[in-house]
Chain A
Amino acid sequence: MSENTTKQTQTESAATDSDQPLTTTAGETAERTQSEWTEYDFRGEAKMTVDDLDVYYGDDHALKGVSMEIPEQSVTALIGPSGCGKSTYLRCLNRMNDRVSSARIDGSVELGGQEIYQDGVNLVELRKRVGMVFQSPNPFPKSIRENIAYGPKKHGDLDTGLLARLLNRSDADERDELVERCLRDAALWDEVSDRLDDNALGLSGGQQQRLCIARCLSVDPEVILMDEPASALDPIATAKIEDLIDDLAEEYTVVIVTHNMQQAARISDQTAVFLTGGELVEYGDTDQVFENPHSERVEDYITGKFG
């Protein structure tokens, strides 16, 4: 793999194995990615700014020089074929990739103007501010109530322990308010309000996923990262989650990975297209990306000629 790729010129593409990466032989499959295509002009503030981000898993170069700005209080969709590095990218935004021992990350990610890849970053605080919902629902084997109260309790914001109860200082009421608020925000309250003490594993897949969203909201994040949150759900549950994301965007910054183009087109304000090889090829207003993409490869991908 060539290291010559710069932020401006990225010529490596999966389809060609060019000896001279900087020459401009744009064949049918080889196409020069241009920096204008990924420069997205938006109104308002950038919540997160990613600059020249490279990720390696061992020798495997999974993300190549990705730069993008994520506007606040909006929905950003990440699309692209399987294995192109969408999840990898998402996990960089709250440093979950630190948990993968083989991963090495180069570049810069800023949250509200503060670099998150520097020494002395408080991971607890970072992950509180940048929450995450995973591809498959992963509630804890605890009651619905405990699932939601878990984060705040561990952060010391809620104390319902034995000692607190004995000292009559229990935050049980606050906890119940929080549980209700998060469940309402996640559009789950009506379905589970009468069985908050049941085990969360007894919920359906779609309910579990909404519970995970509610759990993510419980620590009051600023950014919510979602990795294909609806991939295991039926159309009705998916529609619920989509509505939910729409509502969430009024308050939170949502970044969502999806394989479903219609979904991306429906719910997102801006769309980033990653293509095989781990490059960001196009990023811009969702309507523009879907209706009038700059890149031929992106057009092929969106119209289904190439996956």
Chain B
Amino acid sequence: MAGAGQTDTQLVEGNTTETDAVAAVAIGLSAVLFALAVAAMFERVSLTGTLAGVQTVTLLGGLLTALGVAVIAFGAGSRLGYVETDPDPSAGLIAGFGAAVPWVVVGGGVASQTLGLGTAGGAVGALVVGGVAFALTVLPREDLGSTLPLGSLLTLTGLVFLTGVIGPDWVWDLGWAQTASITAEFFIPVATLFSALYGGWASAKSYGGFGARGRHMGAYVLVYLNALSIVAFLFILVAYVVVQGVPGLLTGFELGLGTGPQTTILGVSVTLPVSVPFVMNGVALLNDFQGVLPAIVGTVWLVIGAVVLAVPLGVGAAVFLTEYADRGRFTQVVEVATNGLWSTPSIVFGLFGFAFLIPRFGNGKSLLSGMITLGFMLLPLVVITSREAMLSVPDEYRDASAALGVSKWQTIRSVVLPAALPGVVTGVILGVGRIAGETAPILLTMAGGTFIPGSQTVDVIGSFQFTAAPPFVANPALLEATSALPYQLFALITAGVGLGSSVSDPNAFRWATALVLLVVVLSFYAIGIATRYYFRRRLTHT
């Protein structure tokens, strides 16, 4: 961005570097405002407090005003010929609508609320002001059109904040129902956010000297800010859960030899050197600290069980559909059915498990019923993505293999499936993300509750048994009722204040459960990504 101007011939003109700098500073200002707005929205910056020694709202207002003035100044300077730019005759219809929308809001709001003209007056005000903004954008030359209306908007917003017309205590009662009102806490960040976007757009256009290059710059800044905000949103979400969850997670945390519980690893009994009661304990009367271990183990086994069930079935169905079945009525019906199954609400699956599976597996809620129910939920996605992946394996591979006299099934096994595996894994990753967070099917098939006793921690591996009668193996653990994290979280939240008697800080307990759920799901995700990376590497590097 910075280097681009230097090769331009217009750099020869003396004052261009300084004006470029003004535009660049304006872009930077927009980015800062954008960040502040996001921070304020998530209450990381307090609107009532101060920032850098200034009242937050005043600071926002000042910055917005400065940005608006800079944008207008640049546009006017360009129009009057002080700044060398390359504007088109008009800013264009899209820019016109872009500028009209916020002015419609401003015009309508001011006319109906501030001036008290009522709904009809508001509509007229909105139309008039929006129309003027539109005309001012579209009719003048591009340099003025794409700066003046937006710059004025920014200046207006900034002045409103500066003068305290809208301060931290401002509330706009919508008067719909008792509850509907817009508070400053919501309005100020949102207004700042949009103003920052518009400011960034206008100043990026200015920086590019308008014209094709300017539009490119404008689009670039908008796209960039957008991508950034997505990343920021994700980061804030995770950070929020972590910050809220860590205290609960670390209650009773101890580090040091002999502090942890005893476990057997490879037949040797060892005492772990750390103790994190929250993830190592269930709930018991005599526990110092309560934990969610049964639900963690339940979730992990649930996901493993569902994957073990769904992946072979799904990949097998996909192989049949893509490689063996002729395209026709039948494959279409199967396709529609799988897509429909994938869109089926999870509570319906849960109900199916409750009504169909539970009576068949020991007549009680059990881990096995949960696994099968979630496996069925996962199945359609595995089928869909595996099919896509297999269809995208080039036919040349199949031809090459057939021309060597290799049978169809061997071709599928050794050429088609390996080439399709990364796609299959992607599907499984997406599906696991969905089923690991399911609440409704677990509620109906696996039981659980607010607090799960440590005794419900399933030991699937340890409880394999050989029996004298067919089927010769048994695993009672699969038939035990247990729980999983999403359902426990749901139960904890709906239980409300009643938790107080069992844990010292119910709220921290809930957040810690959420954090653990997040970590478990993200771990599965990481395993999936690593697997996919491995298979993809094998295809391209070996």
Contact = CB atoms under 8 A, between A and B. Distances in A.
Interface of A: 94, 96, 99, 101, 123-128, 131-132, 134, 136, 138-143, 146, 150-151, 154-155, 197-199, 201, 212, 215-216, 218-219
19 contacts: A94-B403, A96-B399, A101-B326, A124-B406, A128-B405, A134-B400, A138-B396, A140-B400, A141-B418, A142-B542, A150-B401, A151-B404, A155-B406, A199-B539, A199-B542, A201-B540, A215-B404, A216-B404, A219-B405
A155 B541 contact: no
B421 to A, nearest CB: 11
Given A140-B397, A199-B540, A132 B326 contact: no
3 closest Cβ pairs, A-B complex:
A127-B405, A138-B396, A128-B405
Interface stretch (B205-213, B407-415, B487-495): B407-415
A99 B408 CA distance: 11
B404 A128 contact: yes
Contact of B400 (A126, A199, A212): A212
B419 interface: yes
Contacts of B396: 134, 136, 138
B402 interface: yes
Given A197-B542, A199-B540, A201-B540, A150 B405 contact: no
A140 B254 CA distance: 54
A215 B399 CA distance: 13
A185 B364 CA distance: 68
A132 B403 contact: yes
Contacts of B400: 134, 138-140, 212, 215
A151 B399 contact: no
Contacts, number: 76
Given A131-B404, A141-B539, A154 B399 contact: no
Q: How large is the interface on B (under 10, 10 to 19, 20 to 34, 35 or more residues)?
A: 20 to 34
Interface in B388-445: 394, 396-397, 399-407, 410, 414-415, 418-419
Given A101-B326, A141-B419, A150-B406, 8 more contacts: A124-B406, A131-B404, A132-B403, A136-B396, A139-B400, A154-B414, A155-B405, A219-B404
A150 B404 contact: yes
A214 to B, nearest CB: 12
A219 B403 CA distance: 10
Given A143-B542, A201-B540, A131 B403 contact: yes
A199 B541 contact: yes
A138 B398 CA distance: 10
B402 A127 contact: yes
B405 A99 contact: no
A123 B406 CA distance: 9
Given A127-B403, A216-B404, A150 B419 contact: no
A108 B405 CA distance: 21
A96 B398 CA distance: 11
Contacts of A123: 405
Given A138-B397, A140-B415, A201-B540, A154 B410 contact: yes
A97 B371 CA distance: 46
Of B396, B404, B415, B419, most A-chain CB atoms within 10 Å: B404
Contacts of A146: 542
B404 A198 contact: no
A99 B540 contact: no
Contact of A154 (B326, B404, B541): B404
Given A96-B399, A138-B400, A142-B542, A124 B405 contact: yes
Contacts of A134: 396, 399-400, 403
Nearest to B541: A199
Contacts of A201: 540
Contacts of B407: 124, 154
A201 B407 CA distance: 23
Nearest to B326: A101
Contacts of A199: 539-542
Contacts of A124: 405-407
Contacts of A141: 397, 418-419, 539-540
B436 to A, nearest CB: 31
Nearest to B403: A132
B393 to A, nearest CB: 9
Nearest to A124: B405
B406 A154 contact: yes
Nearest to A155: B405
A237 B30 CA distance: 57
Contacts of A150: 401, 404, 406, 414
Contacts of A212: 400
Contacts of B542: 142-143, 146, 197-199
Interface in B502-542: 539-542
A218 B405 CA distance: 11
B540 A151 contact: no
Of B401, B402, B405, B406, most A-chain CB atoms within 10 Å: B405
A86 B137 CA distance: 64
Of A96, A199, A212, most B-chain CB atoms within 10 Å: A199
Contacts of B410: 154
A188 to B, nearest CB: 17
Nearest to B407: A124
B100 to A, nearest CB: 53
A218 B400 CA distance: 13
A151 B415 contact: no
Contacts of A142: 418, 542
Contacts of B397: 138, 140-141
Contacts of B403: 94, 96, 127, 131-132, 134, 216
Contacts of A219: 404-405
B418 to A, nearest CB: 8
Nearest to A94: B403
A101 B328 CA distance: 13
Nearest to A201: B540
